[in-house]
A and B are shown apart, each in its own frame.
Chain A
Amino acid sequence: AAGVIQSPRHLIKEKRETATLKCYPIPRHDTVYWYQQGPGQDPQFLISFYEKMQSDKGSIPDRFSAQQFSDYHSELNMSSLELGDSALYFCASSSGPGRWANEKLFFGSGTQLSVL
């Protein structure tokens, strides 16, 4: 069965550079979520999209932006990278938003971002 695909798996950037993370949800899933997990930390919710519109927002820095495209894939854009942005970034997808959602969230394997 198809899973959530994230690319790249690993990314190394310098401080103040820009990074773009991509997420391809499971086919027919219309809702995408982004999470950030620092070393030894629990995943922190960043932002979610349903039908190409932002549906909820968490602790996402202003330096980050994200969008969901017509094919439902999503991209997380990170600018002016800081050392503290080094983390594992998860994307997850589900079918339907909020209270109508399929309760299962399927996670991708994550993108490990290292800022040097």
Chain B
Amino acid sequence: AQTVTQSQPEMSVQEAETVTLSCTYDTSESNYYLFWYKQPPSRQMILVIRQEAYKQQNATENRFSVNFQKAAKSFSLKISDSQLGDTAMYFCAFRRDDKIIFGKGTRLHILP
């Protein structure tokens, strides 16, 4: 069975700093997708970034980038130039076929 582990329940950083959120997963599959979702206080689930396992190049979306290490089954999210609006719960997620499995989440606070 696949599992997703986020080892940082909560983090705080100053505005404009860079922060990295960790995620590891366990699977025996070779082809899958990985995601980072953001859930602000409104509780809307917002897709931040996605990575296809067969692509070696790390995905980047503006200030958000990932460090995907397939052999190590690691998928960390880096947020550069953090902004107050980045304050949210961040979920790492694994998708194989019709099932998406979420980690427990990391609560990120951006401090002014």
Chain A interface (Cβ within 8 Å of chain B)?
31, 33, 37, 41-45, 48, 50, 55-56, 58, 88, 90, 92, 97-99, 101, 103-107, 109-110, 112
Please, how many angstroms separate the alpha-carbon atoms of A104 and B44 in the complex?
A: 16
Most chain B C-beta atoms within 10 Å of own C-beta, residue among A42, A56, A88: A42
- Is A104 touching B99 in the complex (CB atoms < 8 A)? no
- Chain B: residues with Cβ within 8 Å of the partner, total of 23
Query: Which of B19-27, B45-53, B75-83 forms part of the interface with chain A?
Result: B45-53
Q: Mark B29-69, 1 if CB is under 8 A from A, else 0.
A: 00101010100001111110010100000000000000000
Please, how many angstroms separate the alpha-carbon atoms of A57 and B88 in the complex?
A: 29
Q: A33-B98, A110-B43 are in contact. Are A103 and B91 (CB under 8 A)?
A: no
Query: What are 25 A-B pairs at a CB distance below 8 A?
Result: A31-B98, A33-B100, A42-B102, A43-B45, A45-B99, A45-B101, A55-B98, A56-B97, A56-B98, A58-B99, A90-B45, A97-B97, A97-B98, A98-B97, A98-B98, A99-B31, A99-B97, A101-B98, A105-B100, A106-B47, A107-B37, A107-B44, A107-B46, A109-B43, A110-B45
Chain B interface (Cβ within 8 Å of chain A)?
31, 33, 35, 37, 42-47, 50, 52, 91, 95, 97-105
Rounded to whole Å, the gap between the CB of A101 and the closest CB of chain B is 7
Residues of chain B lying within 8 A (CB to CB) of residue A99: 31, 97
Please, how many angstroms separate the alpha-carbon atoms of A78 and B98 in the complex?
A: 22
Please, how many angstroms separate the alpha-carbon atoms of A37 and B102 in the complex?
A: 11
Residues of chain B lying within 8 A (CB to CB) of residue A104: 47, 50
